[in-house]
Amino acid sequence: MATALQLEPAAAPFIDPDEEGALIDAIARWVDKEVRPVVMKHDHDDIWPAELVAQMCEMGLFGATIGKDYGGLGLPATTYAKIVAHIASYWMAITGIFNSHLIMAAAVERFGTEAQKRQWLPRFATGEIRGGLALTEPNAGTDLQAIRTVARREGDDYVINGSKTWISNGVQGSCFALLVKTDPKAEPRYKGMSLFIAPKGPGFTVGKQFEKLGYKSIDSAELVFEDYRLPAANLIGEREGQGFFQATGGLELGRINVAARGVGLAEGSLRLATEYAQVRETMGKPIAEHQAIQLKLGEMVTRARAARLLTMDAAQAYDRGERCDMEAGMAKYFASEAAVRNSEESLRIHGGYGYSKEYDIERYYRDSILMCIGEGTNEMQRMIIAKQWVKRNPA
């Protein structure tokens, strides 16, 4: 049976409530001033938001969860989730630009050698080097142990061949946490998997960039490796066979982020519906006064609130250093489904206008469904939840 890597307990991150409030207020002002005026054009034309990315670097978002010792903000997952939820309540896609990056950084910070942390994390924190997590392959999504990308040791280097697909930041990013097989014949399969810090260079090319229904303005691409050579010093932790747990350990933070994005989409959809229902009139009164609309709003409020509470619960467990795959799975599953349902109900409340690209709600509707797929499908989340629940509650 697979057993997770054992880490030394770390001190729980802490932020003064006043400092957290000031930080979230600053993020809110930035969203109002810089994000909201450009979101519709960027989304419709699928434009990479270069100016917003530069501003996110200046605000430290690419180092949000990286420890202060390595130049990051050292934020607790709870604060990070609140920031993500607020940004996502106006434009979800841009949160993916720094989330994928921070999962890569978390793998290095949690499992890397001290030399690796000193070399890479300060440059990750400033956004000088940006990237993401390169796990998925054409034949391996949820079943990560089925990957075929192989790293072969040659002296002090590894030579890597294979491909990855649907990699966020694949075009614009410059470095990735790359999951490979260092022993393709290992049984069980996870024992032959390793995770590398992989900057772009000779032998590393970007293939197809995917056009998507939603999640615009962030690139999702194929990565191709042909005799791509990396020094052995780039093997995270400098031990082969640990990559499966290093990669999946980072997904806890990733799933909390997806849950927070779901919260943002659910709350944003509710906000749009609430505003519209109070100005749109039928039969001589605002539609918010009609019982049919009130029933929808009542369910939407409840879903959004429950999604936020589940997400905060998972983030608190992560901050305590506890294993939280069940909590993160519950939050990701519920919040993403809440995003889908709230965006659909909000679109219905908008009526025909909701189907128009002149209104924001259609973007929420398109973006929300990805939350049920990314960072592990919701079908897989339910299996994880059930297995962990039974394990924690033996007969």
Q: Where are the alpha helices (DSSP H) in the chain?
A: 17-30, 39-45, 50-59, 77-88, 93-111, 114-126, 243-279, 291-319, 325-350, 361-368, 378-392
Please say if the pLDDT value at position 382 is more than 80.
yes
CB half-sphere exposure, 107, CA atoms < 13 A: 35
Burial 147-160 (b: 16+ CB within 10 A, else e): bebbbeeeeeebbb
Going from the C-alpha of 136 to that of each of 25, 55, 104, 140, the distances in angstroms are 36, 29, 14, 6
Residue type, 153: R
Average per-residue pLDDT for the chain: 95
Q: Which pLDDT does position 142 carry in this prediction?
A: 80
172: burial class by Cβ within 10 Å (0-12, 13-18, 19+)?
middle
> Average pLDDT, stretch 242-254?
89
Is 362 considered catalytic here?
Answer: no
Please say if the pLDDT value at position 193 is more than 60.
yes
**Which pLDDT tens digit goes with each residue over 324-377?**
999 999 999 999 999 999 999 999 999 999 999 999 999 999 999 999 998 889
> Average pLDDT, stretch 100-117?
96
Please say if the pLDDT value at position 89 is more than 90.
yes
> How many percent of the chain have pLDDT more than 70?
97
Catalytic residue among 109, 327, 362, 375: 375
Cβ atoms within 10 Å, residue 391:
9
| DSSP for residue 35 | I
> Average pLDDT, stretch 295-313?
98
CA distance 71 to 63: 7
Q: Which pLDDT does position 11 carry in this prediction?
A: 62
User: Phi, psi at residue 229, to the nearest 5°?
Assistant: -105, 130
Please say if the pLDDT value at position 10 is more than 80.
no
Structure tokens at 382: 């339910």
> Average pLDDT, stretch 188-199?
97
What domains can you pick out in the chain, each with its CATH number?
17-131 (1.10.540.10), 132-242 (2.40.110.10), 245-392 (1.20.140.10)
Worst-scoring range by mean pLDDT, 45-54, 140-149, 190-199, 259-268?
140-149
Confidence of residue 9 (pLDDT cuts 50, 70, 90): very low
CA distance 117 to 105: 9
Taken in order 364, 367, 369, 374, the sign of the CA dihedral is: negative
Q: By the 8 A CB rule, do 287 and 279 touch?
A: no
Of 160, 120, 132, give the one whose Cα is nearest residue 221.
Answer: 132
> Average pLDDT, stretch 127-142?
93
> Average pLDDT, stretch 75-90?
98
**Which pLDDT tens digit goes with each residue over 195-237?**
999 999 999 999 999 999 999 999 999 999 999 999 999 999 9
CA distance 322 to 96: 25
Q: Which pLDDT does position 143 carry in this prediction?
A: 86
Please say if the pLDDT value at position 14 is more than 90.
no
CA distance 348 to 345: 5
